[in-house]
Structure 1
Amino acid sequence: MGFRMAIDHLQTMLYGTDDLQHLHSFAQTMPWYLLLLIPVTGGLVVGLILNRFTDDGRVCSVADVIEGAALNDGRVGLRAGIASAIASMITLSSGGSSGREGPVVHLAAVIASKVSDWLKYDGVTARDLLGCAVAAAVSASFNAPIAGSLFAMEVILRHFAIATYAPIVIAAVAGTVVNRLAFGNIAEFTLPQASVLDFYEELPAYLLLGLVCGLVAVVLMRSIFWAESVADRLQQRTGLPAALRPAVAGLLLGVLAIGFPHVIGVGYETTAAALTGQLLLFEALGFAFVKAAAVSITIGGRMGGGVFSPSLMMGALTGLVFGILATAVFPEVSGSETLYALAGMGAVAAAVLGAPISTTLIVFELTGDWQTGIAVTTSVSLSTALASRLVDRSFFLTQLERRGIHLAAGPQAYLLAMLRAGAVMRPAADPKCAAESACRDMVAQGLCVEASATLEAAMPIFDRAGVDYVPVILRRPDKDGEAEILGALFQVDALKAYNRALAATAAEEHS
C-alpha cells in the first residue's frame, strides 16, 4: 500500500492533479513540453539508480521472483530489489507505460527474503514464506484475496501443495484487510450494468475471441522482447551509456504522450472506458496499437514496471473491438459489447501471465461481476492454450528462457542447473575416486569440467565421450591457469543426485 500511495503522491506532484483516475484526460490539457519533459527526467533518474545499484542495469521483476522460488531457496537480492522498487515507482509516477503489480510482487519477495534470512529458513519453508508475501501483496494491490492466493501458487511457486495453501490464504486475507482499511471494499472497475450472456449461441464468438486474444498477447510479448533486443543492439553500436537508456525511452514515450496521453502510467482510465463501452471502434483499435508500442518502449528501454496492467488494458481494448464487430455482424444473437471487453481483458492478461485460474478470478474481483463466468473462462482457456504454444508458457518464463534459465520445461529440466559438479564429485582423496594418472590423461584431452560447472553442462559429456566419469578441476590463476584436479564426477553419482532432487521436488509439490 505504501508503494501504491507513493506513486499517487509523486504523480500528483509531477502532473499537478489530484484526480489520478482521470490523469489521461487532464494530460490532454497540459503543455506539450511538460508531457515530454516529465518522462525524460524520470527515465534519467531511473537510469542513474539502476546503474548504480544493480549489476545489469535492469529492473528486477516477477521473473526474478519465480527464479528465486525455484533456484535460490525462495530468495531474491536485497540491494537490487530495493533499487528496482524505487526505479519502478519513479517510472510509473513520471508517465512510464507499465504496471505497478510486478514491482509490488518483487518488493514483497525482497521482504520475505530478508525475513527468511533472519529466521534462518531454507527450502520449502522459505519458499512458502515467499508465496505468503506475494499473495499478500497481490491481494492488497487488487483487493482480491482469492486471486492473490492462487497467483502465488500458480505463477510463483508453480504448484498447488495442500500444506502451502493455508498459510498463503491467511496471508492473502491479511493483504486484503490492509487494502480495505485504506480504500474500503470498492471494486477497481465499475461496470455500467450487470453483464449477462443471454444466448448460448454466442459462445462460439467467445471461443474465437480467446484465439484472437491469445495472438494479441503473443504480439505484445514479442514486441517487448523485440524492443529490448533492438535497444541492446543500438546501445552497443552507438556507445550510449547504460544510464541514459531509460531517458531515451522516456523521450520516445513523451513524444507518444503528446498525441496519445492515454499511454501515461498504469492506464486504468482507458481500461475503464473500454469496459463501459465509451470508445469507438477505430479509437479503441488505435489506442491498442499505441499502448503496445508504449509498453514495449517502457520495458525494452529498462524504465521499470510490470506487464499485468498493460495486458488488462490491451485485453479490454481488444475485446471491445471484437465486441463492436460481433454485435454489428450478428445483432440477433449478440449480447453486450462490454462483456466482450471484460472477457478480452481476462484472456490477454491470462495469456501474458500464463495464469488462467488466478487471472480469471482477478477479473471477477476487480469488477465485482461474477455473472460472466462462462464468457470469461471460455475466452481465457483458448487464449492461454494458444499463447503457451507460441512462447515459453508465459511472459515471465520466456524472460528467464532468454537469460538461459530453463524453468518453463519443469523441474526435470532446471534441477540439473542447481547441482554443481564440485558438490557431487568424489574427492581425489576418496579411495573410490578415479586414478590421478587417468584423470590427468583425460584433462589433457579436454575431457573435464570446472568445479563450479552445473550438471546441466556436465551430463552431455558422458553421452558424447562414452565415459563413466570426468575429472573435476579448478583453474589456478596464480599458476598460469594450470588445472588442479579436485576429484572426479561419476555419471552414477550425478544421476543419484538428480533423482534425489526430483524426489524432493515431488514431495514438496504433493505435501
Structure 2
Amino acid sequence: MVEEIRSSLSAVFVQWLAGLKDFWRVLRHRGPSQFQFWLIALLIGVAAGFAALFFRKGITALQAWIYGAPDLDYLHSYAQALPWYVLVAIAAGGGLVVGLILDRFTPDGRVRSVADVIEGAALHDGRVEHKEGLASALASFITLSTGGSTGREGPVVHMAGVISTWVSNRINADGITGRDLLGCAVAAGVSASFNAPIAGALFAMEVVLRHFSVNAFAPIVVASVAGTVINRLEYGDVTEFTLNTPGALQFYVELPAFLILGLICGLVAVALMRSIFFAEKVGNTVQQRLHLPRWLRPAVSGAMLGVIAVWYPHIIGVGYETTVLALTGGLLLGQAVIFAAVKTAAVAITMGGRMGGGVFSPSLM
C-alpha cells in the first residue's frame, strides 16, 4: 500500500514537473498569455512591494543605529543633540562610501532613478540597467541613512524596474510586454511606499508609460494592489500623512487661497528644479577645475550637508517629520519659509554631489 502511494505521488510529481517545463518553454518562446501575464504582473507586484518594504525598513534601522534615535519620528531632535563634528563626519563618511560604490559599479559615477526608468520605457523596450541599478539602490540607501537630503521613492521605482527587467529578459518579452511589466513594477513600488494603490497605478501609466492602454490597465492595477498589501501587512491600513486638524472645508471662502497656494507651489517647484540643475553644473565645473576624482565628489557634498545639519537637522533624510508638522499646523510661517529654502539648497547639494535618492518626498516638504 505504501509503495503504491509513493508510486502515485512520484508519477504526479513527474507530471507536474513536465507541465512546469512545458509552461516555461511556451512562456519563453511564445510570450505570456492573458492569464499568464496577469499572474506575472501579480508576482512582480509582490516582489516590488517587498523591495520597497525592505528598502524603507533598512533605512530606518541604519538611521536609528547611526544617529542613536529610537524613534525616527523625532530624528532631527536626536541629531540636534549630537556634536557638530559627528554630524559632519556621518554625512561626509556616507558620501565617501557612496562615491566609492558608484565609481566602482557605474561607468559615469551617476545614480539611476526615475528618469532612467522613463527612458527605459520609451527607448529600451521597458528595460533598465541591472548592475548600475543595484549599485544606485545601495548608494541611495546609504545616502538616505547618513544625512543625504533626498527621497526614497526614486530608488524604489528604479529597483522595481530592475525586477521587471530581469523578468522580461527571462521570458524574452517583446517591447510592449516589457513596458507593461515595467509599469506593473513601478506601480507596485510606489503603492508600497505610500500605501496608495490608485496613486501608484496612475503614476505608472501617466509618468512612466505615458498612456492609459486598456490592456495595461488591469495588470498594473493588480500589481499596484499587491504592493499595497505588502505595505499593509507590515504597517497596517494607515496613510503616510494624516491631517488631524478639525474644521469643515469652506470651499468658496478658501478658493482664492487655493489659487494663491497653487501659484506659489508652482514657483517653488521651478526653483527646486533649477537649483538641482545649477548645482549639477557647479559640481561639474568644480570637479574639472580642481581635478577631483569622481569618488570624492559625494564626500564633499556630504560634508556640506553635515555643516547645514548642524543648524538645521530637519534636512536629514526624507523630511517626513517636518512635512507632517507643516500639514498639521505645527510650524509658524517664518519657520516654514526658512525650512523650504534650506531644504531646497540641501536637495540641490545632494543631487549635484551625485549622492543618490529621489526628489518626490523633498518636494512635498
1:13-32 mapped onto 2 (5 Å cutoff): 13-32=65-84
1:320-335 mapped onto 2 (5 Å cutoff): none
Q: In the alignment, which of 210, 233, 244 is matched to residue 158 of structure 1? A: 210
Hey, what's the Cα distance between the residues in 1 that align with 2:260 and 2:240? 27
Point out the more displaced range, 76-85 or 200-209. 200-209
Q: In the alignment, which of 69, 72, 91 is matched to residue 39 of structure 1? A: 91
SS at structure 1 position matched to 2:296: helix
Unmatched segments (≥5 aa) in structure 2 = 1-52
Hey, what's the Cα distance between the residues in 1 that align with 2:137 and 2:100? 14
Listed one character per residue, the Cα deviations across residues 444-468 of structure 1 (whole Å, up to 9, x for unaligned) are xxxxxxxxxxxxxxxxxxxxxxxxx
Hey, what's the Cα distance between the residues in 2 that align with 1:225 and 1:174? 36
Q: State the TM-score, normalizing by the size of structure 2.
A: 0.84
Q: Please tell me whether residue 82 in structure 1 is matched to residue 82 in structure 2.
A: no
In structure 1, the residue matched to 2:285 is 233
Hey, what's the Cα distance between the residues in 1 that align with 2:198 and 2:251? 29
Listed one character per residue, the Cα deviations across residues 47-91 of structure 1 (whole Å, up to 9, x for unaligned) are 000011001101001000000000000000100000000000000
Q: What is the deviation of 1:194? A: 4.7
In structure 2, the residue matched to 1:282 is 334
Contact 2:130 2:162 in 1 (8 A): yes
Larger C-alpha radius of gyration, 1 or 2?
1
In structure 2, the residue matched to 1:404 is none
In structure 2, the residue matched to 1:319 is none
Q: Please tell me whether residue 215 in structure 1 is matched to residue 292 in structure 2.
A: no
Hey, what's the Cα distance between the residues in 2 that align with 1:204 and 1:189? 24
In structure 1, the residue matched to 2:316 is 264
Hey, what's the Cα distance between the residues in 2 that align with 1:117 and 1:204? 52
Hey, what's the Cα distance between the residues in 2 that align with 1:25 and 1:124? 49
Point out the more displaced range, 12-21 or 104-113. 12-21
Over 3 Å counting, the alpha-carbon distance change for 1:113 and 1:195 in structure 2 is: farther
Q: State the TM-score, normalizing by the size of structure 1.
A: 0.61
Tell me the percent identity: 67
Over 3 Å counting, the alpha-carbon distance change for 1:50 and 1:195 in structure 2 is: farther
Hey, what's the Cα distance between the residues in 2 that align with 1:205 and 1:12? 39
Contact 2:126 2:175 in 1 (8 A): yes
RCO higher in structure (CA 8 A, sep ≥6): 2
Hey, what's the Cα distance between the residues in 1 that align with 2:145 and 2:254? 41
Q: In the alignment, which of 136, 158, 174 is matched to residue 226 of structure 2? A: 174
User: Is the helix fraction higher in 1 or 2?
Assistant: 2
Q: Please tell me whether residue 143 in structure 1 is matched to residue 195 in structure 2.
A: yes
In structure 1, the residue matched to 2:161 is 109
Hey, what's the Cα distance between the residues in 2 that align with 1:195 and 1:237? 57
Q: In the alignment, which of 122, 134, 138 is matched to residue 70 of structure 1? A: 122
Q: What is the deviation of 1:123? A: 1.0
AA in 2 matched with 1:107: M
Listed one character per residue, the Cα deviations across residues 111-158 of structure 1 (whole Å, up to 9, x for unaligned) are 100110001102110100000000011111110000000000011001
Listed one character per residue, the Cα deviations across residues 16-39 of structure 1 (whole Å, up to 9, x for unaligned) are 112112101211111111111101
Hey, what's the Cα distance between the residues in 1 that align with 2:246 and 2:229? 26
AA in 2 matched with 1:225: F
Over 3 Å counting, the alpha-carbon distance change for 1:174 and 1:194 in structure 2 is: farther
Q: What is the deviation of 1:205? A: 2.2
User: Is the strand fraction higher in 1 or 2?
Assistant: 1
In structure 2, the residue matched to 1:59 is 111
Over 3 Å counting, the alpha-carbon distance change for 1:37 and 1:208 in structure 2 is: same
List, as ranges, runs of 4+ consecutive aligned residues in structure 1 with deviation greater than 6 Å.
none
In structure 1, the residue matched to 2:23 is none
RMSD over equivalenced CA pairs, Å: 0.9
Listed one character per residue, the Cα deviations across residues 201-249 of structure 1 (whole Å, up to 9, x for unaligned) are 3212211221111111000000000000000011001101100000000
AA in 1 matched with 2:294: A
Q: What is the deviation of 1:190? A: 2.2
AA in 2 matched with 1:305: G
Hey, what's the Cα distance between the residues in 2 that align with 1:57 and 1:150? 31
AA in 2 matched with 1:16: G
In structure 2, the residue matched to 1:186 is 238
Hey, what's the Cα distance between the residues in 2 that align with 1:174 and 1:68? 23
Q: In the alignment, which of 343, 348, 351 is matched to residue 291 of structure 1? A: 343
Contact 2:134 2:159 in 1 (8 A): yes
Contact 2:68 2:78 in 1 (8 A): no
Q: What is the deviation of 1:284? A: 1.1
Q: In the alignment, which of 59, 63, 78 is matched to residue 11 of structure 1? A: 63
AA in 2 matched with 1:157: L
In structure 2, the residue matched to 1:340 is none
